[in-house]
Structure 1
């Protein structure tokens, strides 16, 4: 399991057909290979948000900035690894036991792989959560059968 702090890039937009494509097209034209794309309505305000990761390199950073994206102020972790039953619950319990509040989480499995983005109020919370996630992600030890003598 890998857990790393990341910077999401965010833009608030009108919630209308085609807006997501308008935000993503300049990134695609710059050669972006995004690992995370989140788009969601902001309640009943008629507004929405688009968040993406990663934005790295001069060309992509310039394209993202020109598209109106800016580094988000939320501390975020990108988590990926092998999936197993109960992994999400184990990570949530570990974070709870570390007394850290999760601001948001988006998680999925594809085949046998798991990935998630967790958001936290502060970098300190993200660091504490990263430790908790790594500990929770370790597979439970199973007793080895004893050899008969």
Structure 2
């Protein structure tokens, strides 16, 4: 199956880092019938009291209203959702192509389930995200080189 690359909007909210905070933050979306594909929750490094939740997609007026009512705002960070068949070395090939183009990442979250992978990648600008989308498509359509690891003496 081909790799898909699409722009997404992450919705973000800061929360208190305490038991049950994530569950109560997600409740309005469950009540509104949201089918969230991305949920990222994390504590701030160096600040154990604060955390953030980012999620997507928020589509339609009903979900946008639920998100805003729950304190979420559309993040200003341009992001891509990349999905495809996993291959050894693919993560390296994608990040190397982006690096070679002098594009800096804001963040990268990737996971593999079975033979498929998905990645959410954040960028400093919409222009960088657009360039990276083209590079990712090119990189994933050609054969990934196997990297060799030298043994240390």
Give the TM-score taking structure 1 as reference length: 0.91
Paired residue for 2:98, among 95, 99, 111?
A: 95
* Distance of 1:106 and 1:77 partners within structure 2: 11
- Cα RMSD of the aligned pairs, angstroms, is 1.1
Paired residue for 2:141, among 126, 130, 138?
A: 138
3-state SS of the aligned residue for 1:96? helix
* Distance of 2:83 and 2:25 partners within structure 1: 25
* Distance of 1:104 and 1:29 partners within structure 2: 30
Aligned residues: 141
Larger Rg: 1
Aligned match of 2:9: 7
3-state SS of the aligned residue for 1:103? strand
Aligned match of 2:66: 63
Aligned match of 1:86: 89
Q: Is the 8 A contact 1:6 1:75 kept in 2?
A: yes
3-state SS of the aligned residue for 2:76? coil
Matched, 1:116 2:127: no
Contiguous gaps of at least 5 residues in structure 2: 145-153
Contiguous gaps of at least 5 residues in structure 1: 142-149
Aligned match of 1:44: 46
* Distance of 1:117 and 1:108 partners within structure 2: 9
| Deviant stretches of 4+, over 6 Å | none
Aligned match of 2:19: 17
Q: Is the 8 A contact 1:94 1:135 kept in 2?
A: no
Q: Is the 8 A contact 1:7 1:54 kept in 2?
A: yes
* Distance of 2:45 and 2:116 partners within structure 1: 31
